[in-house]
């Protein structure tokens, strides 16, 4: 399984750092939604679902967390601990976010508006779904292969 982690360009000077993200330039899709989570309680695991078509970039802009990615065949754990790194999470990918530091702020850039019907929240249903759709993810397309 290919894990795609983007390293964004910080524009640093003696005042500090600034990261700018533009759709189709730094991010491989049109950004239709941004959300973020913070004050995550100790020991909590979030996510535990996949999306049928949503693509996202996860950026831990403060603190740290870990993300488990599972494509139904392979699992990988990706630490997120730098505000200039973004993890590309394609459709058809089970994800779990955990091990949040007290100060963690996890920001997500999403390719679609919120749509509960895009979620697969049952793991067995997810395995069946990826089996039937031939594991095709947006990352397999030319657009998702940019970096
Ligand atoms: C994902 C991971 C990384 C909204 O009303 N609008 C939104 O855009 C989102 C994302 C959530 N919500 C509501 C729905 C729930 O009542 O916020 C509540 C918490 O959402 P959820 O339990 O889905 O949060 P996570 O952290 O388990 O998952 C979220 C995203 O939902 C999901 O797409 O990939 O972050």
Q: What is the pLDDT of residues 66-87, one digit of tens each?
A: 999 999 999 999 999 999 999 9
User: Does 145 have pLDDT greater than 50?
Assistant: no
In 3D space, the residue among 96, 39, 92 whose CA is nearest the CA of residue 62 turns out to be 39
Of the chain, the percentage scoring pLDDT greater than 70 comes to: 91
Main-chain dihedrals φ then ψ at residue 115, nearest 5 degrees: -150, 105
Q: How confident is the model at residue 143 (pLDDT cuts 50, 70, 90)?
A: very low
Contacts 24+ apart (CB under 8 A), 65-69: 65/40, 65/97, 65/98, 65/99, 65/100, 65/101, 65/104, 65/106, 66/97, 66/98, 66/99, 67/95, 67/96, 67/97, 68/94, 68/95, 68/96, 68/97, 68/98, 69/1, 69/3, 69/93, 69/94, 69/95
The pTM (predicted TM-score) of the whole model is 0.93
DSSP helix/strand/coil, 37: strand
Residue closest by Cα to atom 16 of ligand 1 = 116
pLDDT band at 137 (very low <50, low <70, confident <90, very high): confident
67 or 134, greater pLDDT: 67
Give catalytic residues, as residue numbers: 49
Q: Determine contact, residues 131/71, Cβ cutoff 8 Å.
A: no
CA of 46 to the centre of ligand 1 (A): 9
- At residue 146, the pLDDT reads 41
What's the mean pLDDT in 38-49?
Answer: 98
Q: Whose CA is nearest to atom 23 of ligand 1?
A: 47
């Amino acid at each position: 399984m290919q894990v795609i982690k983007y390293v964004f360009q910080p524009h640093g000077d003696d005042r500090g750092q600034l990261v700018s993200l533009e759709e189709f330039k730094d991010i491989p899709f049109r950004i239709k939604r941004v959300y973020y989570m913070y004050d995550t309680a100790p020991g909590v695991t979030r996510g535990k679902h996949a999306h049928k078509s949503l693509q996202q970039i996860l950026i831990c802009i403060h603190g740290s967390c870990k993300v488990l990615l599972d494509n139904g065949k392979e699992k990988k754990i990706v630490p997120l601990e730098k505000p200039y790194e973004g993890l590309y999470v394609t459709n058809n990918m089970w994800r779990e976010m955990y091990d949040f530091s007290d100060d963690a702020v996890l920001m997500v850039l999403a390719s679609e508006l919120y749509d509960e019907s895009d979620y697969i929240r049952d793991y067995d249903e997810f395995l069946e779904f990826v089996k039937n759709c031939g594991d095709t993810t947006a990352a397999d397309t030319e657009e998702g292969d940019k970096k």
